[in-house]
Amino acid sequence: MTDTLNIHATAIVVGRTGLLFSGPSGWGKSMLAFTCMTEARRLGLFTALVADDQVLLSGEAGTVIATCPPSIAGLIELRGTGIVQQDHIPSAAMHYAVLPGTASGENRLPPEGETVSLAAGFSLPALRLLTGVSAPLAILMAKAPGIGH
């Protein structure tokens, strides 16, 4: 797969794990990703921003690769606060898609083994997360214990 697709998302790395935050505008992708990076630093884990708002996806040997457009490298928008600079890397393999969770109703427990198709040829295992949780990285690590390694 050699095509590149520009999607509205935020991509970070924690340890060697790529996390792609994807969901509707206003869901809080950037703030959740920023909070996860802050938690990772407190735990002494490597963490870096790949891209915020615009993520270029490509495929390489069956792996989804996220790349940042050069014009926004190292920048993340924290809604209501402004744009801040973060440690960043230009591209990374993505391992999970972090999607909005639901706190009530019949679908409050996501299906086990859920995957999400981000676009034709781009799919990742899904992890669901509510916005506004105080320790999002801890929740993601509990669901996928390999995160951060």
User: Per residue in 98-149, pLDDT tens?
Assistant: 999 877 666 666 677 888 888 777 899 999 998 888 899 999 999 998 998 8
User: Which residues does residue 59 pair with via DSSP β-bridges, in sequence order?
Assistant: 64
pLDDT at 80 (0 to 100): 82
Strands 75-78 and 122-129: unpaired
CB 148 within 8 A of CB 40: yes
The token duo for 45 is 């884990």
At 93, the amino acid letter reads A
Q: What is the pLDDT of residue 69?
A: 96
Averaged pLDDT, 48-68: 94
The token duo for 2 is 């050699």
61 membership: H or E segment, kind and range: none
Query: Mean of the pLDDT values across residues 45-56?
Result: 97
Q: Whole-angstrom Cα distance, residue 6 to residue 118?
A: 11
pTM, rounded to two decimals? 0.92
Task: Give me 146's structure tokens.
Answer: 């390999």
Residue range 31-55: average pLDDT? 97
* Three-state DSSP state, 77: strand
Look up tokens 């095509």; give the residue: 3
The overall average pLDDT reported for the chain is 90
User: DSSP for 71-135?
Assistant: GGTTEEEETTTEEEE--B-SEEEE-EEEEE--SSSTTSSPPTT-EEEEETTEEEEEEEE-TT-S-
Residue 18's contacts (CB-CB under 8 Å, 6 or more residues apart) are: 11, 12, 50, 64, 66, 92, 93, 94, 95, 96
Is residue 87 pLDDT above 50, yes or no? yes
How confident is the model at residue 36, as a pLDDT? 97
Amino acid 132: pLDDT: 83
